[in-house]
Chain A
Amino acid sequence: MEDRERVVARMQEAVGPTAVITDREELRTYECDGLTGYRAVPSLAVLPETAEEVQAVVRICRDEGIPFVARGSGTGLSGGALPVEEGVLVVLARMRRILEVDIPNQRVVVEPGVVNAWVTEAVAPHGYYYAPDPSSQIVCSIGGNVAENSGGAHCLKYGFTTNHVTGLEVVFADGEMVQLGGKTAETPGYDLVGVLVGSEGTLGIVTKITLRIIRRPETVRTLLAAFPSTDEAGGAVSGIIAAGILPAAVEMMDALSRQAAEAAVHPGYPDAGGLLIVELDGPAVEVEHQFQSVQEICRENGAGEIRIAENDDERALIWRGRKAAFAAMGRISPDYFVQDGVIPRTALPQVLHKISAMGSERNLRVANVFHAGDGNLHPLVLYDGTVSGEAERAEELAGDILLVCLEHGGSITGEHGVGFDKKKYMPAMFTADDLDTMQLLRCAFDPRHLCNPGKVFPTPRLCGERPGPYREHPLQQAGIAEIF
C-alpha cells in the first residue's frame, strides 16, 4: 500500500483508533479462514461497529483505490475471506446486534456479525427458528452465511440461506449504501437480494440482513439405520424420495467415518458399511405415517438395525456422531482434506465406488460423510503430511473427485463456495462465455474490482469488454447466408 500512514490515519478517524489493527503480529489472527492452507497478512484490519462506519471505510478504500475483503467469523472453507496483502480486511465481528424480532411477520433483522445460532435462540421462546443450520452454526456469522449461501443438514426440505433472506442493506464498492428488498416476500425490479446472496463477498459488504424465520414443527422423528454398505443405504434414499417423502434431513456415513466418529465422541453407532440418519418433521399425523414408510423402505433395502430416537436426548445422540464426523478424522488420520462436491442423487452408488477406486489407485483412504438427500458429498481425503508427496497426492485426488462430480452432471461446490480455493475449477464447470456473463454483474457492482478481488473467477475480465467472441452462424460459415 503506497501511503499506508495516511490510510491508517483516515481509517482511525473513521472508526476510532482501537478499531484499526496495524500490528503485523496482531494481523496474523486474520491471515486465513477455515481453510488454513492459504494465508496472507492484510495491510491493515478495521473493525467497524456500525453500517455507517463500514461505509466510511469503504469510501476510504474507494478514494485510495485499495482492495478490501469482508470477514465474518472466518469459518469459511474455500478461502473466501483470505485477505489481500495490499488491502484492508473489514472484520464484521463487532456488528453483532439483533435489531428486531418481528414474530407476526416472521422476520428477524440482524447485523452481519450475528452468529447463526443466536437467531434461533432469539426466536425459540416464540416457537420459531431460523432454518439454515450449517454445522458451524455456533460460530459462523449471518453475513458469512449470506455471502456463501450456506446450507446445512436440514436444507433438503427447507432450502438454503437464499430461501430465507428477504432484505439486505449493502455497502457497495462505490461507497453507496443501498437497501434491497425488505420484510415483504418480494419487491419490484431485478432480484438484487437473490443476486447478492451467494456472491461470496465479491459484490459488496452486507451490513444488515432481514431473515425469514419459520414455525417449529409439531413433531420431529429421527432414525438411524445400519446397512451392509453405502449402496444399500443409497437405495433406501432413492426409495424414500420415490415414495414422495421429503425428509427434513437425510445424512449418510460410510464405515470409515463411522469408525472415526466412534473413536471421537462414542455415539455407539452399530457396526455397518453404510449408516443413514433420516429425520422427518411436520404435523404429527403426517410424520407418523411417513416415518413408518421410511422404516419399511430401509428394511426393504437391506437395513439391519434401525434405531429410533424416542426423545430429544436420543435424537441428540444420533446426531452427535454425524456432527462430529469432520473433526473426528483426526482420530484416524494425521491430516485430511475436506472436499465439497455435488452429484445428482441417483449417481451416488456409482460415484462412491469411483471415489473409492481412485483412492486405492493413489494408496489413500477417503472417508465419506454427506448430505445424501441432495447429493452433496463431503469426501474426506486422509493423508499424512509427514510422508513426502502424500499431501500433494491427496490434494490431487480431492481435485479429481470434483471432476468426477462434474462428469455426472454435478457441481464443484454445494455449500462451501468457490472462494480462492476452487476458482481454478470454474472453467471445468462453466464456459468462458458463462464466466464472462457472470462477470457482467461484477462490473455493474464493482467495476474497479476492489471488493474481495481474486476470488470465485479464475481470470477477471476488464469491465467494458463484451463477453464471448462472436461465433459465426453455420449458414454464414457455409457461405449460404450473409448478414447484411
Chain B
Amino acid sequence: MTVLGDIVGTPHVRDGGSGDAVDGITPRWVAMPASNEECAELLRLADRDGLAVVPRGGGTKLGWGNRPRQVDVIVDTSRLNRVLAHEAGDLVVIAQAGTPLATVQDTVAGAGQMLGIDSLWSGATLGGIIAANASGPRRVRFGTMKDLLIGITVVLPGGTIAHSGGKVVKNVAGYDLGKLFTGSLGTLGLITETIFRLHARPPTRRAVQAHLASPSALGLALQDVLRSHLTPTALEVRWDRSSGRLICLFESIEPSVAAQSDRAASILSRFGPVDVVDDISDLERPPWARGQTGLKIMTVPARLPDVIETVLGAAGEHGIDCRIGGHAGVAVLLVALDGGPEAVASTITTLRSRLEQEFVVVLEAPAPVKERVDVWGNAPGGALMRRIKEQFDPGGIMSPGRFVGGI
C-alpha cells in the first residue's frame, strides 16, 4: 500500500471494500492514478509482483465477463477525467479514459456536436465503454466504439505506454490498437486516453412505432424498412411474450424528420397499428433490472423472428420470464431473463444449442447463474486470442479469467 501510495499519492490509495468487489471478489487495494506515467508505474509494479489488476471506470459493467480468478488492485480511472481538447472544426475530441461519456457530450454539445455512441448505463466512462464494447440504439447509424475511436493511448503490464491512430479520421499508418482494445474488457492493458470523431447533433427527432402481433410480422416490417430509402438513427425492437414493437427513430433537420416519419408510418401500417413515440428514454435502458440476467444475442436481420421465437420458447419451457429488446436494424438483441439460477442457466444452455448460427453472450448475471454457465459461449478465433493475450500480458495480470475462454 505504501508503494502504491508512492506512485499515485497516499490520498489516492485505499484498501478495497465490499463495494469494490468484482463478482464477489474484494480487491486488496484501490489505486487512483492521475497520469499515464502513474498508470505505467502501477502496471509495472503489478507485473513484477504478480498482482492481478482490474481497471474500473464508472463501475457500471464490472460484472461483465467471467468471474476473475484473482483481484488484487482495482485501478480506478476516476482521476483520469479530463477532456483534453475539443477541436470543433475538425469534429474531434480528445479525452482521458476515465471521463464520463456524459461529460464529453456536455462539452461538445456547445458546438452542436455529439459523440455518436449512447450508453445504456449511466455513469459509464469512455474507457469502460470501449473495453466493454458497449453500444446503444444509434449504432444503426453511427456504428460502435470501433467505428468512432480514431486514436488511443494504452499502458501495458510492464509499464510501456503506447499510442496508435491519431487525431485525424482518415489514417492507415500502423496497426490499429484501438480496434484491439475495443471489447478487450481490461485483459490486455489499461486504456488511458482516447480520441474520437464526432458528429453534428441533429436538431430534431421523431420516433414512430408499429405494434406487431407476431415475430414474423416483425421480420417482414423490418425487411421493408431496411429496403426503403429511410435513414433512421435507430431501429429498435421490444418484445414481451406475445406482442412487440418495431421502433424507427429519425434524427435530422425538421423537414427530413417529418417526411421520413410519415413514410415510415405508411410502411409500418401494413403490419400493425402505428403511433408516434413521445418518450424515447425507454430505448436508452437495457431491458433487464438489477439482479436479473442480461444476454446479448448477435444474429442477422433475416433470423430475428426465429431467434425471438426460440428465446420465448426456451424461457417458457424453463418456466422463467423474459423480455426482449435491442437493435433490430443490426440484429443485436438484448434479452432479460428472470427466474431461479438453475432455470436461467438451463435456458441459456438451451438457447446456445438451438441458436447455432448466433452468438449468445451473458452480459450481466447474478453469481449463481455465472457459476453454472460460461458467459461467453463460442467465440471464433480463440487460439489466436490467447496468443495475443500472451504477447500483451505474459504475466497474466490483467483481469485474469474474465475473458473468452478464460483469458
Contact = CB atoms under 8 A, between A and B. Distances in A.
A343 B90 CA distance: 10
A181 interface: yes
Interface stretch (A66-74, A111-119, A301-309, A462-470): A462-470
Contacts of A217: 229
A215 interface: yes
B163 interface: yes
Interface string A133-153: 000000000000000110100
Contacts of A456: 174
A155 interface: yes
Interface stretch (B96-104, B180-188, B277-285): B180-188
B359 A241 contact: no
Interface stretch (A41-49, A54-62, A191-199): A191-199
A194 B227 contact: no
Interface string B287-303: 00000000000111110
A391 B248 CA distance: 58
Interface band, chain A: 35 or more
Interface stretch (A2-10, A264-272, A440-448): A440-448
Nearest to B403: A189
A441 B172 contact: no
Contacts of B146: 191, 194
Nearest to B404: A189
Contact of B158 (A160, A245, A466, A483): A466
A430 B200 contact: no
A413 B173 contact: yes
Contact of B166 (A410, A426, A463): A410
A286 interface: yes
B170 A190 contact: no
Highest count of chain B CB atoms <10 Å: which of A188, A246, A409, A442 = A188
B260 interface: yes
Contacts of A238: 89
B26 interface: no
Highest count of chain A CB atoms <10 Å: which of B7, B166, B260 = B166
Contact of B391 (A106, A151, A413, A444): A444
Given A106-B226, A444-B387, A194 B176 contact: yes
A127 to B, nearest CB: 7
Contact of B174 (A189, A343, A418): A418
Given A148-B172, A185-B332, A187-B298, A282 B231 contact: yes
Interface string B204-243: 0000000000000000000100111111000000000000
Interface stretch (B37-45, B71-79, B119-127): B37-45
A106 B301 contact: yes
Contacts of A186: 133, 144, 183, 298, 332
A189 B380 contact: yes
Contact of B179 (A191, A286, A412): A191
Contacts of A422: 173
Contact of A414 (B161, B170, B253): B170
16 contacts: A102-B302, A180-B380, A190-B381, A194-B179, A195-B175, A238-B89, A374-B168, A376-B170, A413-B171, A426-B174, A433-B160, A436-B160, A437-B154, A442-B175, A444-B387, A470-B159
Given A105-B300, A282-B256, 20 more contacts: A102-B300, A105-B331, A107-B300, A190-B388, A194-B182, A215-B227, A242-B88, A284-B229, A284-B259, A285-B255, A285-B256, A343-B168, A346-B90, A409-B166, A410-B166, A418-B174, A430-B174, A470-B158, A475-B7, A483-B6
